[in-house]
Homo-oligomer: A and B are copies of this chain.
Amino acid sequence: MKDLKTLTPLTKILKEIQHINSAIALMGWDQETYMPLGAGQARAEQMSFLKGLVHEKQVGKEMSETLAQFVDLETGGLSGDANDWDEPASACLREVWRDYHHATCLPSDFVRKLGLETSLSHQVWIEARKKSDFSLFASNLKRIVALKKEEAEYLGYGDSPYDALMDRFEPGMTIAQVAPLFDALKAKLVPLVEKIQLSSVVPRKEIFQTYFAEKAQIEFGEKVLQAMGYDFSIGRQDLSAHPFTTSFHPTDVRITTRVDEKDLLSSLFSSIHEGGHGLYDQGLSVAHFGTPLGDSISLGIHESQSRMWENSVGRSKPFWKHFYPILQKTFPEQFEALGVEDFYSAINTVGPSLIRVESDEVTYNLHIMLRFEIERAIIEDDFPVEQLPVLWNDKMEAYLGVRPENDAEGVLQDVHWSGGAFGYFPTYTLGNLYAAQFFNQAKKEIPNLLEQISKGSLLPLKSWLNEKIHRWGRQYSSQAMVARVCGEAPDPAYFINYLEEKFGEIYSLT
């Protein structure tokens, strides 16, 4: 039986590439946290040079010759008898070839053109959003769409070019799989939002818009992170303009948060969200560092971890049964007189809004549906880019009952398209679906999970995730991972049930 040891010459190269990637990631972290303002230009040059080094190694002679010892470089098929390989080794080769194929199948002229176009478009998008005028951005976007369609052809696909793009973020996921999931979800979400709108219950979310000292907010957040099992001896939390998680190695995983002293929820839930990402990265295998077996599966699975901790745990009743008294002690003036029930409703306020990143657990997914449908229309059906604002606004009205008054609060709000990231948005909602399904399974397998959570004991869940998901790296695809953990395919019913039950109770729906 050939196993991972057989692959030593290959994993050596992979680890070397990962060392450079870790340096790039540190440079990225530093850029967002501590780098002096005036160092931007130099840092960009340094990062770009190192990224070039990584690419050279990914497609270079050493890599292709070494990989060719084990797989057919054209097809990815294992050389010799496929049955000779054990599962970890064959999974590793499958994923290494996947990365190799992606790194080599795009002509370098094309990569350069796309890089130039997206970097220009990003600047134009910033300007257009500032002026709230989509027409300034339309011709850039048109060129990017054309390039992304070209990219899909290089990458190859079965049914739809959109599959090729989505595959970069959620390997193996196709329209044929996603569309039914999303349709089922939308069919339930639109009426749910309508019912919530009609409810006479109005959670008191204004209680979060008073003053909360920065230091106390951070300390409370770190208490929660510690309870989650986020290990500060191999991690940190710093401040940045936009919260993110980055990892240089499973023993060096860093998250960031931002603190608004006039808004308690912003920092708290980003800490929990990024903490969920951080637990995944801290839970990856040290032994397999640098190889696909030491890497995370997909954006969707990564997002399932952050969403589960943020929503299934962090916005749940059991969680606040334990943590609300602590929060009350931290901010006595603000919360002394407020009961935990009111607090719980307030952190779960649902209401249609124009901006995705400010939206709640329920409406968030309708923002994603809209983007997914628009991306399909552009990529599959040649929908004219100039008419996007109207399409956007019509869909907002249909799904959420609100209509943007200008492009800045509509079609221009997200950075993704200016960077060419078509196929990225669906992973947000996939994350929610996976999260609900995983959490449902966790409740079945971990004795008294909710009761444990209500005592502040979050480690059983963390350990379960370590064991069931994190430690496997990319050995299984996201779909295979869901099937392994839950014994069935991804199913939107779990997320729908979760939302209907939770918000049915909060908003007294019948």
Question: Which residues of A does B touch, CB under 8 Å?
Answer: 16, 19-20, 22-24, 26-27, 30, 34-39, 41-43, 45-46, 49-50, 53, 231-236, 238, 248-249, 251-252, 289
| Residues of the B chain whose Cβ atoms lie less than 8 Å from the Cβ of A46 | 19, 22-23, 248-249
A43 vs B250: C-alpha distance when bound (angstroms):
11
A27 pairs with B23, CB closer than 8 A = yes
| 11 cross-chain CB contacts under 8 A | A19-B45, A20-B50, A23-B26, A30-B30, A36-B251, A38-B234, A38-B252, A39-B248, A39-B249, A42-B248, A46-B249
Contact A36:B248 (CB < 8 A) given known A30-B30, A46-B22, A50-B20: no
Which B residues touch A19, using CB under 8 A? Answer: 45-46, 49-50
B27 touches A252 (CB 8 A): no
A30 CA / B248 CA spacing, docked (Å): 12
Complex Cα spacing A16 to B24, Å: 15
What is the minimal beta-carbon distance from A222 to any residue of chain B, in angstroms? 14
Closest to A39 in B: B252
A236 to B35, CA, bound (A): 8
Closest to A23 in B: B23
A39 to chain B, nearest CB (A): 4
Task: Report whether A233 and B26 are in contact in the complex, using a CB–CB cutoff of 8 Å.
Answer: no
Partner of A233, one of B22, B38, B50: B38
Cα A249 to Cα B50 in complex, Å, equals 15
How long is the Cα–Cα vector from A24 to B49 in the complex, in angstroms?
Answer: 14
The residues of B that contact A50 with a CB separation of less than 8 Å are: 19-20, 23
Bound CA span A16–B50, Å? 9
The one of B24, B27, B39, B235 in contact with A234, judged by C-beta atoms closer than 8 angstroms, is: B39
By beta carbon, the residue of chain B nearest A289 is B42
Is there contact, CB below 8 Å, between A38 and B248?
Answer: no
The 8 closest A-B pairs by CB, nearest first: A39-B252, A42-B249, A38-B234, A23-B23, A19-B49, A38-B233, A19-B46, A39-B251
Query: Given the complex, which residues of B lie within 8 Å of A49, measured CB to CB?
Result: 16, 19
Whether B23 and A252, one on each chain, are in contact in the complex, defined by CB atoms closer than 8 angstroms, is no
CB pair B23 A251 closer than 8 Å: no
Question: Which chain B positions have C-beta within 8 A of A34?
Answer: 34, 236, 238
**What's the Cα separation between A487 and B35 when bound, in Å?**
40
Contacting residue for A27 out of B26, B35, B43, CB 8 A = B26
Closest Cβ of chain B: how far from A381's Cβ, in Å?
A: 44
CA distance A37 to B19 in the complex (A): 19
Residues of B within 8 A of A20 (CB): 50, 53
- On whether the beta carbons of A35 and B233 are closer than 8 Å, the reply is no
Residues of B within 8 A of A37 (CB): 233-234
Task: List B contacts of A249 (CB < 8 A).
Answer: 39, 42-43, 46
Q: Looking at the assembled complex, report how far the CB atom of A169 sits from the nearest CB atom of chain B, in whole angstroms.
A: 27
Cβ of A251: which chain B residues have Cβ within 8 Å of it? 36, 38-39, 41-42
Q: How far is the CB of A501 from chain B (nearest CB, A)?
A: 39
Known: A19-B45, A23-B24, A23-B46. 9 other contacts (CB 8 A): A16-B49, A23-B50, A34-B238, A38-B252, A39-B234, A39-B252, A42-B249, A42-B251, A43-B252
Residue of chain B at shortest CB distance from A235? B36
Q: Closest Cβ of chain B: how far from A69's Cβ, in Å?
A: 23
* Interfacial chain B residues near A22, Cβ < 8 Å: 42, 46
Q: How far does the alpha carbon of A219 sit from the alpha carbon of B310 in the complex, in Å?
A: 38
Query: What's the Cα separation between A332 and B235 when bound, in Å?
Result: 40
Q: How far is the CB of A42 from chain B (nearest CB, A)?
A: 4
CB contact between A35 and one of B16, B41, B43, B252 (< 8 Å): that residue: B252
Shortest beta-carbon distance, A79 to chain B, in Å? 29
Complex CA distance for A293 and B46, rounded to whole angstroms? 19
Min CB distance A245 to B, Å, is 14
For A38, the chain B residues whose CB sits under 8 A away are 231, 233-234, 251-252
A232 to B236, CA, bound (A): 24
Residue of B nearest to A233 (CB): B38
Residues of B within 8 A of A235 (CB): 36
Which residues does chain B contribute within 8 Å of A233, judged by CB atoms?
A: 36-38
Contacts of A45 in B (CB 8 A): 19
Query: Hey, which chain B residues are within 8 Å of A43, CB to CB?
Result: 248-249, 252
Measured in the bound complex, the distance between the Cα atoms of B145 and A328 in whole Å is 65
Q: Report which of B42, B238, B252, B289 forms a contact with A252, defined as CB distance below 8 A.
A: B42
- Which residues of chain B are within 8 angstroms of A35 by Cβ–Cβ distance? 252
How far is it, in angstroms, between the C-alpha of A41 and the C-alpha of B37 when the chains are bound? 31
Question: What residue in chain B is nearest A234 (Cβ atoms)?
Answer: B38
Bound form: Cα–Cα A23–B20 in Å? 9
| Contact of A236 (CB < 8 Å), options: B26, B36, B231 | B36
Complex Cα spacing A34 to B36, Å: 16
Inside 8 A of A41's CB, which chain B residues have their CB? Answer: 251
* Nearest CB in chain B to that of A21: its residue: B46
A37 closest partner in B (C-beta): B233
